[in-house]
Amino acid sequence: MDPQSPAPRLDILAVLSLVMGAVAFMTVWCCIGYPIGLVAVVLGAVAVSRNNSGGFSGTSRVLAISGIAITGFAIFLHVILIAVGQVSKPVLPGSESDASSTASPAPSATTAAPVPEPVAPPIPEPAAVPEPVAVPEPVAVPEPVAPVADPIPPTQQAFCDAVKAGAESYKAAEAEGANELKLSKLRSVRKVALAAAVPRGAFKEWIGTVERIATSSGGQAFLSVKLKCDARVKIGNSMFSGIEQSNPLFDLIAELGEGANVKVSGKLEAGGTDGFREGSLTESGSMSYPDFTVEFSAMAGPL
């Protein structure tokens, strides 16, 4: 048979189709398998069509159909593997994926990856310092106002000043060893001062503290009052001229107690060495702590 006759050429096409189908089956997992399989299908189809038109024997037909079948099975198998995730989808030449892969080739193992520059850690902002809380100033608590004491009457103050001056001069003279004549003269000087302080001995609303309350054998009231001043001086009625129970002052004195503050009015009894009657037994007692006899006419208390 002539090697250039149609029959041999058809056998060659069929054989090539089978061989390329087998190659496509083996390489269909990569991109080259699809073009090889396409060529195998075309060669097989041409061989089958020529065989049908020329009445060629069935050997080439079997070879061509086998090549086409192997190629189709390879493609079907690859589609199944893609569906189950065993292989990736092939990239055909000329496609966008192929262009992108061509434009951006994967870095080779010999290419050193760029070393990233060290990133400086962020500098923390300083914590805000809280403003000092203003401490409220303590509110000054007003001190309790002491009740204003009644002012000492002028005659009482003058009387007390005379007694105080006499007591101080007498004690100073005693300390210096003055004789009785000098001491007695000091008492006369005080007598003049007392008379000038309380003309005719009358006093009104002198302020003092009850020091003693008593009754005489006849039931009369006796009251001793210590005057409020710098001097140590007392006034009180005599036991022999006590306050009768019929006197309104008796009931008032009966309601008082020792230590009660009172206001008293009356008159100093005239007479004696001091110009006003004084009950001390000694001259020193009279000058240092006198106790004058008075006649009470009015009283108010307790204050």
pLDDT at 2: 45
Please count the other Cβ atoms lying within 10 Å of the Cβ belonging to residue 159. 28
pLDDT at 268: 97
Residue 260 CA to residue 210 CA, distance in Å, equals: 5
pLDDT at 238: 87
pLDDT at 46: 72
Give me the residues paired with residue 299 across strands. Answer: 264
Residues 6+ apart with CB under 8 A from 66: 18, 21
Integer-rounded Cα radius of gyration of the chain: 73
Give the start-to-end residue ranges of the domains of the chain: 6-96, 154-300
- 187, 287 Cβ separation under 8 angstroms: yes
pLDDT at 150: 79
CATH class of 154-300: mainly beta
Residue 287 CA to residue 22 CA, distance in Å, equals: 157
- 29, 78 Cβ separation under 8 angstroms: yes
pLDDT at 72: 75
Q: Which of 234, 237, 236, 252 is nearest to 299 (CA)?
A: 252
Question: Which two tokens mark 152?
Answer: 């000492």
pLDDT at 1: 42
pLDDT per residue, tens digit, the chain (303 aa), is 444 444 555 567 667 766 776 776 676 556 566 677 677 677 767 766 766 665 445 676 676 677 677 777 777 776 776 676 655 555 555 555 454 555 445 445 455 556 667 666 677 676 676 777 776 777 776 676 655 577 999 999 999 999 999 999 999 999 999 999 999 999 999 999 999 999 999 999 999 999 999 998 888 999 999 999 989 999 999 878 789 999 999 999 999 989 999 999 999 999 989 999 999 999 999 999 999 999 999 999 888
